[in-house]
Structure 1
Amino acid sequence: MTDASTGVSEHHHADVSGGWLRPAVFGAMDGLVTNIALIAGVGGGGAEPRNIVLTGFAGLVAGAISMGLGEYTSVQSQNEQVAAEVAKERRELERNPAGEARELADAWVQRGLPRQLAEQVADALRRNPEEALRVHVQEELGVDVDERPSPWTAAFSSFICFSAGALVPLATYLLGFSSLWLALAVGGIGLFVAGALVARFTNRKWWISGGRQLLLGAAATVATYLVGRLIGVGVS
């Protein structure tokens, strides 16, 4: 995209710090794999379709709540840790601004910036404490104090996407079919489609991303199905 007033070409990046894509992808994939594997294990053990559906919905509710709470807690804890480090850096800048400026200049010199220019920029930042804090935190911690992920966004993204993913292998039972293999096949299609959709955000080939998710899910499904068969035979 080109700005007509300046003739400068502009480009836009995707939001990589909003905190929604990772939990959404993780939630959807976990929901799919968890419930496909759960259904395979219970079905492999000889459970009736009604019991498979009950197990699947129990897995959906428990997993979605667990994923949502886990994402909220992990992201909130990370933000609190970052806030503590930012507060520590703020105190260091207040106590020893000259020393912090030298530390910043040294870091830029190591990256190839001329010493004189690095010191001039670091010294200029001292006149703007908030900007100095932002730059120091970004250089030392690798985070932007203004773009921390939202724990609520992460929690809801994970909760909703896990629920949607976990519902896919149950769809055939809800439509009146009782075949375990049909449910697993639909779940496999869901895994492939979910992986292919993720490729839209990562610039990977869609069929590679979809195939990878299908293979990983298939491995989990085979393992739980065999366990279900062994336990079912042993119990019977």
Structure 2
Amino acid sequence: MNPKAIDRYRANLQGEIDSLTLYLAMAEAEPQAPLAELYRRLAKVEEKHADFWERQIREAGAPVKPRAPTARTRIKVWLARRFGPGLLLPSIAAAEQMDQRMYDDQPESARTGMPQDERSHARVLGLMAGSFPRGLEGSALARIEGRHRAIGGNALRAAVLGANDGLLSNLSLVMGVSGAHLSSHSVLVTGIAGLLAGAFSMAIGEWISVQSSRELNQFQIATEADELAAAPEEEEEELALIYEAKGLPPDQAKALARRLISDPAKALDTLTREELGIDPKDLGGSPWVAAMASFVLFAVGAVIPVAPFLFSEGTAAVRGALLISAVGLFGIGAGITLVTGRSVWVSGIRQLLVGLAAAGVTYGIGHFIGVQLSG
């Protein structure tokens, strides 16, 4: 008997009991029959999970206590019955999103399909949380479905922040070296070295990040393919749930799911998109494009404080670096407002003050170190 394992089994069981109780209460309180049926089907899956953990506890030689929801779940049940399930749905969907991988690293559930069930529930509830009486509107669906998310905002944000990293880090580096009263040639060499080191670091980091994401997506697709081959009926049920959450009547959702599952290649493509939120043709983008973009964006920002040292020396070069860097910092702050929608002046001035403060601190530290080393 492993006490830690038994405690984990009991914690998993309690979570399933709470979910089962809550879904049944939401089904009872839901006035729309299709949504009520969805809640009951979710509860049925949670009941299977609860049965599984009860078996694990018994096999470990420990007693199984009678099923009872926690006090928090009882409060949620009361709220669902009093005010309707719509009050709780957003928070439940968010909780499912957070817990959707809770079984991924538990060996007992590795070959049961339970990890996939949890991810499916998270996606279905996410769709339901954004739904309307006649199903999901296009704009709401686009915000939920991974393959329809607009990348413009994220791409712009990445571009602005990449340039900001280069500008701020190299400005601080150049000011620190300038504060130590090194020659302009030394400052220039240091600035160029900082540009290259930072740009290569960003590029390599981005390549690893995107490549790792692609490999994870490939692994998830392979796992989905194995599950489709091993349990096509369960995958059909999950697809039907997803399409019902999108607003299709139950009979149409089941017919569509049945038709898709009949073609293994099309079924895998659809499950990959609908259940995993992965575009199998893209897999998260090219790591090489991401790496090159990160290199260029960082370098564009990092070259700004170095440029004056190519044409001037001493105090004039330092002042020039501060001046054009200040313009660059304000421009980056203003660019961020294209994503945030905040005031251009507030964001620009905030970015300017933060950047100049960092440069001032590193200049002071560099000056202190330079004095100590020379004296």
Q: Give the TM bin, normalised by the shorter chain.
A: 0.7 to 0.9
- Aligned mate of 2:355, from 217, 226, 233: 217
1:118, 1:63 → 2: CA distance?
51
Residues 177 and 79 of structure 1, relative CA distance in 2, 3 Å threshold: same
1:43, 1:88 → 2: CA distance?
55
Contact preservation (8 Å) 2:157, 2:339: no
Amino acid in structure 1 at the alignment position of 2:312: G
Per the alignment, in what secondary structure is the counterpart of residue 170 of structure 1? coil
- Aligned mate of 2:324, from 186, 192, 203: 186
Amino acid in structure 1 at the alignment position of 2:332: A
The answer for unaligned runs of 5 or more in structure 1 is 1-12
Per the alignment, in what secondary structure is the counterpart of residue 169 of structure 1? coil
| Greater mean alpha carbon deviation, residues 97-106 or residues 110-119 | 110-119
Residues 91 and 36 of structure 1, relative CA distance in 2, 3 Å threshold: same
1:22, 1:149 → 2: CA distance?
17
The answer for unaligned runs of 5 or more in structure 2 is 1-147
2:230, 2:160 → 1: CA distance?
44
What is the alpha-carbon root mean square deviation over aligned residues? Answer: 2.9
1:107, 1:166 → 2: CA distance?
47
Alignment of 1:144 onto 2:258: no
1:79, 1:126 → 2: CA distance?
25
Aligned to 2:202: 67
Aligned to 1:132: 267
What's the offset of the Cα at 1:210? Answer: 3.3
2:352, 2:279 → 1: CA distance?
36
1:222, 1:138 → 2: CA distance?
50
Alignment of 1:100 onto 2:235: yes
Aligned to 2:97: none
| Greater mean alpha carbon deviation, residues 28-37 or residues 136-145 | 136-145
Residues 127 and 205 of structure 1, relative CA distance in 2, 3 Å threshold: farther
Alignment of 1:168 onto 2:308: no
The CA deviation string for residues 150-196 of structure 1, in whole angstroms up to 9 with x for no partner, is: 11111111111211211111122212243323312211211222343
User: Matches of residues 80-119 of structure 1 in structure 2 within 5 Å?
Assistant: 80-109=215-244, 114-119=249-254
1:14, 1:89 → 2: CA distance?
22
Contact preservation (8 Å) 1:20, 1:157: no
1:141, 1:222 → 2: CA distance?
48
Aligned to 2:183: 48
| Greater mean alpha carbon deviation, residues 207-216 or residues 179-188 | 207-216
- Aligned mate of 2:334, from 186, 196, 199: 196
Aligned to 2:166: 31
TM-score between the two structures when normalised by the length of structure 1: 0.80
Contact preservation (8 Å) 1:172, 1:178: no
- Aligned mate of 1:230, from 344, 358, 368: 368
What's the offset of the Cα at 1:119? Answer: 2.1
Alignment of 1:159 onto 2:302: no
Per the alignment, in what secondary structure is the counterpart of residue 193 of structure 2? helix
The CA deviation string for residues 116-137 of structure 1, in whole angstroms up to 9 with x for no partner, is: 3332332232134334323322
TM-score between the two structures when normalised by the length of structure 2: 0.53
1:233, 1:157 → 2: CA distance?
40
Aligned to 1:78: 213
1:63, 1:54 → 2: CA distance?
14
What's the offset of the Cα at 1:113? Answer: 5.1
Contact preservation (8 Å) 1:27, 1:158: yes
Contact preservation (8 Å) 2:203, 2:290: yes
Amino acid in structure 1 at the alignment position of 2:325: G
The CA deviation string for residues 15-64 of structure 1, in whole angstroms up to 9 with x for no partner, is: 618x9656543431211111101011112222222211111011011111
Contact preservation (8 Å) 2:157, 2:336: no
Residues 163 and 135 of structure 1, relative CA distance in 2, 3 Å threshold: same
With a CA cutoff of 8 Å and minimum separation of 6, indicate the structure with the bigger relative contact order: 1
Residues 114 and 14 of structure 1, relative CA distance in 2, 3 Å threshold: closer
2:361, 2:266 → 1: CA distance?
54
1:218, 1:92 → 2: CA distance?
55
Contact preservation (8 Å) 1:101, 1:123: yes
Amino acid in structure 2 at the alignment position of 1:175: F
